[in-house]
Structure formats: structure tokens, C-alpha cells
Structure 1
């Protein structure tokens, strides 16, 4: 379907056939992902009376989800969303339900919790990547597609802010395991409604015919490299903000406010990015966005107080959603229709893996180096990613578009 005659606005995105219905269902399922990590951590901590056990179980759950995501995306590309997502979502929801049941009361064995969590993580359905593939099928106007991706990215940002808040509200009157059960219910019902949409059914037929014959090209390297750099930087920021608050004797609530400023900046940046008709190519724009993030984080390390840190982190956030949205756009351009889910998933995997690695790496630096140096180091990672991706953009293969060709 073409949007060439549609005014390129966010309202125009939602006016596309079946767009609002499909997007709403996808958001319901993805809200589960905004809730599940905190819900599992609290449930396991309550069941085992051990923060260490909770950390290990959540880490295993996250690792299984992140590192197996390209394989799950390949199944969606090969068999279509309807045939692949429903079994995944059913298994994922069922295993989360089992985890909720096991962790409902104290005394649950840690090995049992870990095994169920790993099994659940391995089945996580790639709803976000599939929704972006649906956008690519619904919309052929690149300006409108940019707005669709920006809207998608901002909505996802808000889900990951509201998800923990919902968990916090639920734990005020129910065991944490109830939040795990609600997360399972959301992904089950949301995915069912999502794949029932005519927009998704059309993608399923197309992908099922094309997915097994194509593989991704080198044009995917640039967005994946930048996404990994952004993820590494963001993974470091959480711990750095906590260290900053502790050094200046602020409470834990202060950390939440600073990270909320980061999310707010990212949401504003995402909306602005989608509203601008860029004359600069996406492949040139992407490394510049990473440079902006790097500089903002470097300045954040020089903040004398909490207010200035919040402002600097909010400025850094202005570059986050645009960088990720542009990465997803380039991944979509670099992939054939039968590889769209995999292409988007590689970017998502890079962000999540980078975030985990960034948190681990900065944990080794905090306490050994001044915080200003640690902030600068977190920004330097995004800067290096920008330079590496810029070098790739300058290569003859990418300039001539050969990197995006399919190998059949």
C-alpha cells in the first residue's frame, strides 16, 4: 500500500489501513516486555529471599531472550508471523505463567526458577521487529515510514517507563508473581490480536514465500554497529547515575528522576526526528547522531549537581530515539521483504547486548576512576561506533548500494 498521496504526519500513519488496530495490539503485547524484568526480579527475590538469586535468574532470562532473538526472527521470516508468533507467544506466556506459579510463595528452588526463566526467555516473540516489518509493508513513502518508525520508537520508550510503574502499583496489593502473570496475559492476548490483523496476514503470505530464499547484506553492518554503541553507552548511564547520586548523598528517588529525564529527552527527540523532512541521507545522519550522544554524555560527567546532570542527560536522550529509529530504517532498507524481521531484530539485539555489556564494563570502572572520566568513556563508545560506521559508509560497496543487494 502506498502513502505517497497522504500528508506525512503522525496522524497519517495511524490512518493507514488497519494501522491503529495492529499497532494497539502490538503495544499491548510489548507492554509485557516493559514489565517482565522487574516483575521477575521481584518475584524471584521474594520467593528465594536472595538478591543474588534474583539477579542471576533475570540475567539468564535476558541472555536467552537477547541472544536467541535472531533465530526466532528467522522463523518469523521463514514461516510468517501467524504460524511463528502464535506458538512462540503461547510457549512464552505459558512458561511465564509457570514461573509465576512457582515463585508465588517463598521457598521456591533456585534451579527450577532458573530453568523456567531460561526456557521462557528462549521463546520471547519478536513483536517489535515484526511490527516494524508491518510498517514497512503498509507504507512505501519513505517520509511517512520515518514517522511510523519514530512513533513506534517513542511508544516503546513510554512502555518501558510505564511498565515498571505498573509493576510497582501491583506489588502494593498483590505478590510480585502476579505481575509476572499479568505480563504473560498481556503478551498472549496482544499477540493473538496482532496476528489476527489483516495487515499482518498480508505480511505473513509475503514473508512465507520470500523468507527462505534470502539473506541479509552488508548494508546492515552500519546500523548494527551504531545500535551496539548506543546500547553500550546507555547501559553504562544507569549505573553512573546511581554512583553520582550516592556520591552526593541523594536518595534512590533521585536516580529515577534523572533516568526519567533521559527517557523524556529520547521521546522528544524521537518525535522531532520523525517530524523533520531530512535532506541529509540516513547513512550520513546516523553517525552524526551517535556523535551528538557521545558529546552530551561527556558534558554530563562535568555536571556539578543533580539538576544539571538531569538536563545534560535529557540532552543526551534527544539523540537516542533518533539514532535507533534511523538504525531500524537503514536495516529495513538493507533487507529484502523476506528478511525484514531479521534485519530489525539484529539492530534490537545489538542494543540489548550492548546495554548489558555496558553495564558490566562500567561496573569495573566505577570506584577506580573519577565519574567524569567514566561518563566520558561511556560517550567515547558511541563516538567509536560513529567513526567505525562512518568508515563503512565511505566504502565503495555501501556508496553504490551494493551492500544492500541480496545473495540468493
Structure 2
């Protein structure tokens, strides 16, 4: 059950003091995440002449970004956004420029490119999770926070459309290394504007903890437990299903002898559906608890994706992709809301980072598995399997929600000595 509420609106979110400046700076910095991957892939491909090397370098870069994300977020919670983000961002931007410099030389050793990419990814600042932490401080009302998260999620998704388009324009008249430099400038200048915002300055570091037997001054780190299992599992399932869509659409178009342009239109329909779904989700005052909605959204996504495999033509597939997208942003927004509710004070950034990690890890696994399935199974079966992942994740999430309700919030996370 739900009811559409006229207030608070999305305009009300942007009327919060310092919200527009902080949000705009965050988006400018996060645009680099849409620019850097494609620019890096093009740079490595041109420098080495090998798609295999480019794939390995991108995999190493992505792995360090994803796996270390919760730990970088822990630094933000531990020291506060201003003290942690700025040096992290400047180091990340500097290493991107090093990558641009190294990849300018044809025949550069693949090991050097891989090592530099790994260190660069390890320093990537958790700008998205930090912005959601700031939203949590700015929007005290849960309904207003839901609007803020929905707006943030839709805007972030659009950045991953705009970023590659910018790189495409740049490489039309200049070298792809310019794309890397652009990414470095975006993340550095955007993060500088972000951390100097009064809203970011109001986010305080986590309190010092003195567990039994531990020395004074040690801080606690976040270990996800049962309460966080539900949103993490659903997010991983969504990431895996979505990564499968890209390859499945390419295979669909190839089997029916459509051009590459049709693939772009189908994927654009998916993104458009996600944007519409995210805005609609944020505009509704939900009466159903988030932990009940999340599995239902995951089931809806899975069923829509499975049905897409039965599409007779590319236009029908685009419509099915748009219907699938309607569930994407709402599912991820709801996962972030649950993580925020479950996180103890001072651990919001880490909680959000675990959702990011789950989505990205699912995407990486999904791309590899789908490639194997497409070569061995009928395409409609591959769509069904991809959709079944989200349905399975929903079942696990539902079980986790039931178990979580039987435990207190104190069991949500295990505070432990810092791992620094």
C-alpha cells in the first residue's frame, strides 16, 4: 500500500540549505567514474595493441575499486569526509595522470600498466556513499531522505551515460589520454568543492571506542551482519542481472542481424526506465516497510528480465528493457535506505559502500558467467537465468528479513578493532 505525497517533493530536497551546492559538486566529481573506465580502456588498447591486456588492466582496476571500497569508506567514517576524502582524491587524480602519461608510449610493459591501474583504483574516493551519508544528515525526515536517495540514484545513473559520451566526443579529435586527464580534473575539482561545503563539514567522525582489552583511541570498523545481508544480497543480484543484459542484448541483435545502433537504443531504454522508476519510487509515501518492498522489487526485476527473452523483435525487447529498468533504481534506492537504517551512528558511509561493492561485484561476476552461457544455451534461457538470479536473491532477502526481525539492531554489525 502506498500514497502519493505532494510534500516533501524533489524541489523540497534541493531547497535544503547547502543541498544544491553539495549535490552539484558531488555529481561533478562522480562524473569521472563515467569518463575514466572507457578512456582507460582506449588508452591501454592503443598503447599495447592487445584487447587481452586491456581486459586484464580493466579487471585489475575494477577489482581494487570494488574490493577496497568498504575500507576506504571506513576511513571516511573514521576521520570525517574532509580529512579522508581530500588526500584520497588528490592521490587518485594524480595516479590517473600517471596512467595517462605511461599509456602515451606504445609498447609500454603490461605489468607497469596493471600495477599503476591497481594502485589508482585502490585510491578511488567513495564519493557516492559519502554523499548519501550527507543526505542522511541533511534530511532528517525519512520520506525526505527517500526523495533525496531517489534523486541521487537517478542522477548518478545518468552520469554513467554522459561520461562515455564525453569520451566519445573527445576521441573524435584528440587522444584518449585527454579523457583520463579530464577524469582527473573532474574528480579533483569536484571533490574539492564537495568537501568544502558546510554540509560535508557537519558530518562528524565516528566516536572513539574502547572495547575490552583494546587500547584507548582505537576506533571500530564495520563488519556486515544479518541486518545488512538482505540489501547486500539483492544489490548483488541486481548487479549480476544488469551486467547480463548488455551481453544478452548484443547477442539478441546479432542473431537477428540488427546493427550496433539498435543495441544502444535498447540499453538506453533500460536506463530511461530506471530513471522513471527511481523518480516514481521517490514520489511515493510507501506504507509497506522497506524490507518487504525490496524482495518484491527484486522479483519484479527478475520476471521482467526473463520475459524480455521472449521478445519477438528489437522494439519489443526495448519495451521489455524499459519495464525491467522500472525496478532497478527503486531496488537500489531501497537497499541504500535499509543499509542507512541498520548502520549505527558514525558508520553510514561504510554501510552504503557495502551496497556499492555488492552491485559492482555482481556486475563483474555476471559478465563472466553470461559470456559462458550465451555460447551454450538458447538466448531465451539465458534471459531466464539472468532474471532468475534476481528472483533467487529476493528469496534469500526475504529469509534474511525474517531472521533480522527476530534479532535486535545491535546484531546488525559487529564492532571490532580497526584494521588499519
Matched, 1:274 2:282: yes
Describe how 1:197-208 pairs up with structure 2 within 5 A.
197-203=197-203, 205-207=204-206
- Give the conservation status (yes or no) of the 8 Å contact 1:217–1:335: no
CA shift digits 1:135-188 (9 cap, x unpaired): 001111000000000000000010001100000001011101110110011101
Q: Which residue of 2 is the match for residue 117 of structure 1?
A: 117
CA displacement at 1:207 relative to structure 2:
3.4
CA displacement at 1:398 relative to structure 2:
2.1
1:72 & 1:124 partners in 2: Cα distance? 8
* Aligned-CA RMSD value: 1.6
CA displacement at 1:288 relative to structure 2:
0.2
Q: Which residue of 1 is the match for residue 73 of structure 2?
A: 73
Matched, 1:330 2:338: yes
CA displacement at 1:309 relative to structure 2:
0.5
CA displacement at 1:212 relative to structure 2:
2.7
- Give the conservation status (yes or no) of the 8 Å contact 1:226–1:287: yes
CA displacement at 1:249 relative to structure 2:
0.8
Q: Which residue of 1 is the match for residue 375 of structure 2?
A: 367
1:407 & 1:57 partners in 2: Cα distance? 35
Q: Which residue of 1 is the match for residue 101 of structure 2?
A: 101
The counterpart of 2:405, out of the listed 372, 384, 398, is 398
User: Which structure 1 residue ranges, 5 or more long, are not aligned?
Assistant: 1-5
Q: Which residue of 2 is the match for residue 341 of structure 1?
A: 349
The counterpart of 1:291, out of the listed 299, 305, 316, is 299
Secondary structure, in 3 states, of the residue corresponding to 2:286? coil
Q: Which residue of 2 is the match for residue 190 of structure 1?
A: 190
1:353 & 1:256 partners in 2: Cα distance? 24
Q: Which residue of 1 is the match for residue 253 of structure 2?
A: 245
Secondary structure, in 3 states, of the residue corresponding to 1:304? coil
Q: Specify whether residues 400 and 201 from structure 1 end up closer, same or farther in structure 2 by C-alpha distance, changes over 3 A only.
A: same
1:370 & 1:340 partners in 2: Cα distance? 43
Q: Which residue of 2 is the match for residue 24 of structure 1?
A: 24
Q: Which residue of 1 is the match for residue 156 of structure 2?
A: 156
- Give the conservation status (yes or no) of the 8 Å contact 2:225–2:412: yes
Matched, 1:176 2:173: no
CA displacement at 1:213 relative to structure 2:
4.0
Secondary structure, in 3 states, of the residue corresponding to 1:104? coil
1:368 & 1:142 partners in 2: Cα distance? 47
1:268 & 1:191 partners in 2: Cα distance? 28
CA displacement at 1:35 relative to structure 2:
1.0
TM-score (norm 1): 0.95
2:231 & 2:411 partners in 1: Cα distance? 12
- Give the conservation status (yes or no) of the 8 Å contact 2:270–2:322: yes
- Give the conservation status (yes or no) of the 8 Å contact 1:214–1:338: no
Q: Which residue of 2 is the match for residue 59 of structure 1?
A: 59
CA displacement at 1:321 relative to structure 2:
0.2
User: Which structure 2 residue ranges, 5 or more long, are not aligned?
Assistant: 1-5, 210-217, 416-420
Secondary structure, in 3 states, of the residue corresponding to 1:338? coil
2:123 & 2:189 partners in 1: Cα distance? 16
Moved more, 345-354 or 242-251: 242-251
Matched, 1:212 2:211: no
Secondary structure, in 3 states, of the residue corresponding to 1:207? coil
Q: Specify whether residues 241 and 405 from structure 1 end up closer, same or farther in structure 2 by C-alpha distance, changes over 3 A only.
A: closer
CA shift digits 1:281-338 (9 cap, x unpaired): 1000000000000110111000011000010011000000000000000000000221
CA displacement at 1:401 relative to structure 2:
4.6
CA displacement at 1:399 relative to structure 2:
4.9
Secondary structure, in 3 states, of the residue corresponding to 1:262? helix
CA displacement at 1:228 relative to structure 2:
0.5
Give the number of equivalent residue pairs: 401
CA displacement at 1:218 relative to structure 2:
2.7
Q: Which residue of 2 is the match for residue 383 of structure 1?
A: 391
Secondary structure, in 3 states, of the residue corresponding to 1:108? coil
Secondary structure, in 3 states, of the residue corresponding to 2:264? helix
2:133 & 2:127 partners in 1: Cα distance? 10
Matched, 1:135 2:142: no
Q: Higher helix proportion, which one?
A: 1
Matched, 1:313 2:313: no
1:379 & 1:186 partners in 2: Cα distance? 36
Secondary structure, in 3 states, of the residue corresponding to 2:366? helix
- Give the conservation status (yes or no) of the 8 Å contact 2:76–2:205: no
Moved more, 314-323 or 52-61: 52-61
CA shift digits 1:56-108 (9 cap, x unpaired): 11111001110111111111111111111111101110000000111124332
